[in-house]
Structure formats: structure tokens, C-alpha cells
Structure 1
């Protein structure tokens, strides 16, 4: 006696979904570099979970000293223990950093400089997503997505720039999202979020902050041209992590989305590949200022090529943080040519 027809149909659907996912995963790319990171100092923001934790693991496996910059040190130490169960290589150094408070960013930079004379890789990884209607703010009163995802990372990079320049082959990796293509930069409102309206499928504040990441990466690369510091923006894809834990979606909507998530959502091990590649790949040594997805270089979307927005965002960020990036004589001479 054979299986009931509905079980056969369900099995066929499951096998079909699995095969489609396998085919999609083949195009997601993998970091193939075997480069050792022994002796290198790395800062990873948001290192206690998701992509940050996986990045920390992969770099520690290569021998790096990884500073785990996290808001919750208890969670950072728990992640440290978790990573240590998988590798004994490298160093893991939890340090407090609350990106929702610019004073904490300043204190982290001070503490880091007391311990380290150089920085080889700055992984600007951490990010938050809140429902727009929650009206979340940073300690300084800025809209939470703009404040955490962009402004704090701008400030952190600026405060650590001298340590990056002290390394002969330093890299800044800016983790963004392909949702930047849906973002816009309204300089009059982006810091306070007063113009935000909840979208049906898209969090506009998150998309705007991811566009800020991309604009920041482009301008930073131009500023640092000739300095030896490389800048890479990267999109990890749709990853199964805790990023959307504050989502306002009902449990019914979440269950209904499971088949789609199965086809399109990556594990953290799959999602981390592009930012890991940007941090270590020898093939990117001579590149800077580009954006990557699926471990491949991509063209910028038109919204990222808005030069007034690039400069306006940079000036606004400098004004709000009080941090203005130092330009060496070599860089100044190049900008005047």
C-alpha cells in the first residue's frame, strides 16, 4: 500500500524547494582566500551575534586579534565562549561599545587607543531595525537607524583613523544592504526622522541608513586615496540573524513567509562570506571605494551616485559628531590636482 497522495505531494514540494535553494546558494559566492590574519588587529562592531559573531569566528580562526565591540558585555563574553568551543586560535577581546550613544563611541576609541597602536581591519558590521512607528532614538536624540547604522560608525571610523593609517594594509569594511537602492537622503529630516512613514513592505528608515552607509563608504575611499587604507562596502544578502527581532510582523505573517525565507534567506555562515572576503582577500589589495555582493564587485545603483547627497551627508555627519577626518599632506596634494 502506497503513501497517501497528499504526503507524496508534500514530499515532492519539499524536495523541489530544497533543490531550488541549493541552486540559489551556488550563486551566493564564497571567500576562497586562505590568507592568514596572524598578528593583525581587527575591530568588529556587533560581534556578539549574527554576522558579527560569525565574522569574529572566521577571523579568529585565521589568527587575528579580534576586538569584539558590543553594547552588552555579558552577551559578548557568552559569544566569546561559544567561539572558543569552535577554535582556540586568535585572540578575542570583548570591549564595551554602545552605538546608540556617541559618548560611548568616544570612550571606546579612547580605550582602544590605550591598548593598540594600530588597526588592520575595521568591520563596521552592527545594525538595528525597529518598526518606524516605535520612534526609537539614540542617547543624543537622533533617529535610531540613522544614529546607530550610520552616524556612530562614521564617528568610530574617524576616531580610529590614525590607528588605521598606522597599518600598512588597513581596511575598512562597511556592511550595508541591497535595500540601500530603496533609500533616500533628506538632509533636513534624516537625523530626526520626522518625515518617516511606515511602509507596507519596507522599513524606510532602515533603507535610508543603508544608503548612508554606501555614501559614507564612497566618500571615505576618496578621502583616503593614496593613504594605504582601503574601503569596501558590501551587501551580505538576506541573512537569518537577530537583526529583525524587533519586527512588528504578526506570527501568522511570519509563518506564511517561511517558504520564501527558506528559498532566499542565508545562514550566517553563508551571509558572512562577502564581508569576510572584503576583509582578507588578496585580490582586493588594489581596489577601494567599490561595493560587493556574493563575493563579487557590483556597480553602484544610481541613488548612490548623487554627489550633493554624498557631500551633504558627510558635512552633516561631521557637524553632528564633531569629528572631521584628518587629511594627510599626500591626500591633500592629490585632491588639489
Structure 2
């Protein structure tokens, strides 16, 4: 009787976990031949899986990250898995404004098209600072991508129709922005939440500013994914999180599906500036849909990154 009870309990737990980890696949097989895609942090995790999927569809894929060795290894893997040799790497450090500006200058010289920009790279909840004295989460997750997108916006307009996809997270709902202290760096988790909320406001304001100019923008919550974000923490924490991620988080391939969906689907254009998860539009908390706050954040970000 005990054995039967154990088996039934285990089966129920397995089915519950399987249900919790369910995700939709992007079934749109639209080709991207002749299109150029730029993915920040495309050397691992969701970024790499997205790169493979879009390369399979025929796109020229550029992955931008700071680790040369990892990037070169990722390029070889993406080429092999996608059977597409049109995959390259460019060096970019989103924690350094000079690096971002140099990257954009080089990109604009080399690349005549930019059809899809995927702001994928991100820093988890860490107490650290960028080279320009911004909190690491806010500096990389929001300001770095804000500057990158703005410096490439002209090329995106020239390549219209084009898209900007920015990865965020549903934990945005646990914090609100404090314009007296945007560079907040006291409690790591709250700092991360604020940076993800900033990603949402950025997407909304970008969509408003480029409305009718051939550029659309989308914020994507990929779900909770078994990526390598724990590398920033202690070994003990990593071991603990590996167990939790195995039980409750989804593989990177599944996490990339909504990003891929927003990159290729024609239906998403009806939700310009929208928030997506599980390959469909999702509802935001009311405070995260305030156009006044989005505009105020945009203007504050322009001053912080010294964007003329």
C-alpha cells in the first residue's frame, strides 16, 4: 500500500510540474532571407537559441557580446545547427557606454541593413556598477540597450519594416520607478525588477515615437528559463538554483519561443508596444501602462547616457 501511495504521489507531482512548465511553440515558419538580425548576448541561453531559430529561417545573424572566446564558440555552434554560414560576432560591452558607441559606429559602417534588433542580454540581481557608475542592472538591462537602440534607430528606419524586441520579466510588477533615484542599487532583487519595468516603458515609448515610421517594438517575458544567469553567484547558490530550475524552469529553447514569435509573426504588429509571453499578448499591471512615466523615463535616460 505504501509503495502504491508513493507511486501515485510521485506521478501527481510529476504531472503538476509538467503542467507548470508548459509553454507554446512558435509555429510560424516565415522565412527571413535577406534580413539582418542583431542579438545582444547571443552567445548563450535564450539569445543563442533565438539565433539558431532565425538563422534556420535564412537570416543574417549577428551576435553581440563581450566574451570573444564564448562568442566564437557560439558562432560555430549556431552555424552547425542552422546550416547557415551567415552568422557573425561583434564585440559589445553593454556595461560601457564607450563600447556601445564604438560598436554602433562599426556596425553602421559594415552593415547596410538592420531588420530585427533583439535586446536580449541582461544582468541578474547583483550589487555592482558599470564602468560609467550606473547600477549594473539598470545600466546594462535598460540604459545600455536604450543607447544601443537609439544609435541604430536610423538604420532600423531605413530597413523598414523592422522590429525591436526587448526581453523583460514579469517581476516588473514588484517595483515602481523612483525618478529621484533611478540608479537605485541597494536591494539586488528590487534593482532587477526596476530594470525590467524600465524595459517595458522603453518599449512603449519607442513604439509611440516610431509610430508610422516602419519600426515596431515589443517587450517579451520569456518565462523562467534554465539559463546560465547563476554564474554571477556563489557555488552553493548555483547548486541550489540548479535543482530549482530543473524542477520549475523551462529549457532555453522553450524560453526563446516568444522572442522568435515576435520576430517573425505578422500578427504582432497589431500590438505595437505590447507585452508578450507564451507566444501571445499579455496584460500588464495598470501602473506599467502609464505613457507619462514612459516619456519621463525616456527623457531621463537621454540625459543619463548623454544622447544629443
TM interval, shorter chain, is over 0.9
- Say if 2:16 is the partner of 1:20: yes
Q: What are the residue-to-residue correspondences of 1:1-337 with 2, within 5 Å?
A: 5=2, 11-26=7-22, 28-89=23-84, 91-131=86-126, 135-191=127-183, 193=184, 196-197=186-187, 203-247=189-233, 250-251=236-237, 254=240, 258=243, 261-323=245-307
Please report how far the alpha carbon of residue 300 of structure 1 lies from its aligned counterpart in structure 2 after TM superposition.
Answer: 1.8
Aligned length: 308
Identify the range of structure 1 (10-19 vs 224-233) with the bigger mean alpha-carbon deviation: 10-19
Unaligned runs of 5+ in 1: 325-337
- Name the CA distance, whole Å, in 1 between partners of 2:239 and 2:61: 38
CA contact (8 A) 2:97 2:305 kept: yes
- Partner SS, residue 99 of structure 1: coil
Instruction: From the CA coordinates, give the structure whose radius of gyration is larger.
Output: 1
Please report how far the alpha carbon of residue 249 of structure 1 lies from its aligned counterpart in structure 2 after TM superposition.
Answer: 8.4
- Considering fraction of residues, name the structure with more helix: 2
- Partner SS, residue 217 of structure 2: strand
- Name the CA distance, whole Å, in 2 between partners of 1:120 and 1:144: 28
CA contact (8 A) 2:162 2:216 kept: yes
| Structure 1 pair 253–39 and aligned structure 2 pair: CA distance change class (3 A) | closer
Please report how far the alpha carbon of residue 262 of structure 1 lies from its aligned counterpart in structure 2 after TM superposition.
Answer: 4.1
- Partner SS, residue 86 of structure 1: helix
TM-score by length of 1: 0.85
1:68-92, CA deviations, whole angstroms, 9 ceiling, x for partnerless residues? 1011111101111222332212511
TM-score by length of 2: 0.93
Q: What do you get for the CA RMSD once the two structures are aligned?
A: 2.2
- Name the CA distance, whole Å, in 2 between partners of 1:250 and 1:13: 29
Unaligned runs of 5+ in 2: none
